[in-house]
Amino acid sequence: MTTPTSTQALTYSVDEVAALLGIARGVAYESVRNGSIPAMRVGRRWLVPRRRFHAWLDGTDTREVA
């Protein structure tokens, strides 16, 4: 098991993703809900795993990214 060496969060919020992409918050939430942006529901919150998000941006297969 590896331990993260930085204190950087492992996920983005939908608001952070919206800001990173330069899109409206509502568009980001809709994209998360319909699966366009990789995300997972944890309770009432949507979380976007950083590695999957950046793999999605790069156009790489997100299934290969752990």
Separation of CA 54 from chain center: 8
What pLDDT sits at residue 60?
Answer: 85
Indicate the pTM of the whole model: 0.78
**Which class is domain 11-64?**
mainly alpha
Torsion on CA atoms 61, 63, 65, 66, rounded to nearest 10: 170
Using CA atoms, how far apart are residues 62 and 66, in angstroms rounded to an integer? 8
**DSSP result, 1-66:** ----SS---SEEEHHHHHHHHT--HHHHHHHHHTTSS--EEETTEEEEEHHHHHHHHHT--GGG--
Which ranges of the chain have pLDDT less than 70? Answer: 1-5, 61-66
